[in-house]
Copies of this chain bind each other. A is one copy, B any other.
Amino acid sequence: MSGTNSADRILAILDVFTEERLEWTPEELMAELGYSRPTLYRYIKSLKEAGFLASMPGGCMTLGPRVVEMDYLMQKSDRLVCLGEPYLQQLCDDHPASSLLVRWYGSKLLCVASECSTPNALSSYPRGRPMPLARGAISRAIMAYLPRRQLEPMIAQNLKEFASIGLGSTSDEVMICMKQIRRQGVAIAYGEVTPGVVGIAAPIFSDSNAPIAALCVTIEARETDEKRLERISDQVRAAAANISAELGKYPNQTLEEKPFRRQA
């Protein structure tokens, strides 16, 4: 399906650069990807010219500065990040905690912004770090609001995960949990991602539509009590709702186009 067209073959080169392996020689890439020498060099040339790859002294290739530039572009333009940042700040001011903004994309959760008010950053999830799906408050805050036809297969697929967390051993039981989350407006998880850390997350909706992200506060269990938990829940729920609402309001640059599209 993919790999037969050169588009995918080029992009596949970038895929081999992982957290474990960030430097590759052309020779190694040839071996790994199975491309011929001239082809590989052609691809590399294109990627280098575009700035996605860069040569290191020694002939090694690494990811190039274009990546940094693009991330800057995204960060500056991402409405979710821009709108969410003040809330992250506020939550950290009010509690000894970390606050994060996490996007849901495809089958991944990706932290796109975070703040922290505790000395040793609780969350090991700065911007750019993908998070485990189907574990923790964040994932459930989003899942709970997916349309049934997306939710059901997802539950079925991760049933053993859910069972191990104690959410229930059957799809129906898990569905009840999800329903409860919808009623509460927040998902709370005790030590699912990091032991001893509580996560409180609420979904953020795109355009009054589908859940696309979550706002989450993580706090040491021993720093919390029933009352604070409730207060955090209220704040997270409200903040997420506000962000969702503001996302609905189209921003300046697309103000002229969007209302038109909606009528048309």
Contacts from A to B (Cβ < 8 Å): 2, 5-8, 10-11, 14-15, 17-19, 21-23, 42-43, 46-47, 49-52, 54, 56-60, 62-65, 67-77, 103, 105-106, 108, 110, 112, 126-130, 206-207, 209-210, 253-254, 258, 261
Contacts and interface: CB of A to CB of B under 8 A. Distances in A.
Nearest to A105: B65
A51 B106 CA distance: 9
Nearest to A73: B19
Nearest to A247: B57
B50 A19 contact: no
A73 B67 CA distance: 10
Contacts of A58: 207, 258, 261
Given A11-B52, A71-B128, A261-B58, A46 B77 contact: no
Contacts of A76: 19
Contact of A65 (B19, B47, B64, B103): B103
A128 B68 CA distance: 5
Contacts of A22: 73-74, 77, 253
A110 B18 CA distance: 22
Contacts of A254: 23, 60
A75 B6 contact: no
Nearest to A18: B73
Nearest to A69: B128
Count copies of this chain in the complex. 2
Nearest to A1: B49
Residue among A14, A50, A126 with most chain B CB within 10 A? A50
Contact of A46 (B7, B72, B106, B110): B7
B128 A17 contact: no
A193 B21 CA distance: 37
A70 B14 contact: yes
A105 B51 contact: yes
Contacts of A73: 17-19, 22, 63, 128
A23 B253 CA distance: 9
Contacts of A11: 10, 46-47, 50, 52
Contacts of A47: 7, 11
Nearest to A77: B22
Contacts of A18: 73
Nearest to A22: B77
Nearest to A81: B68
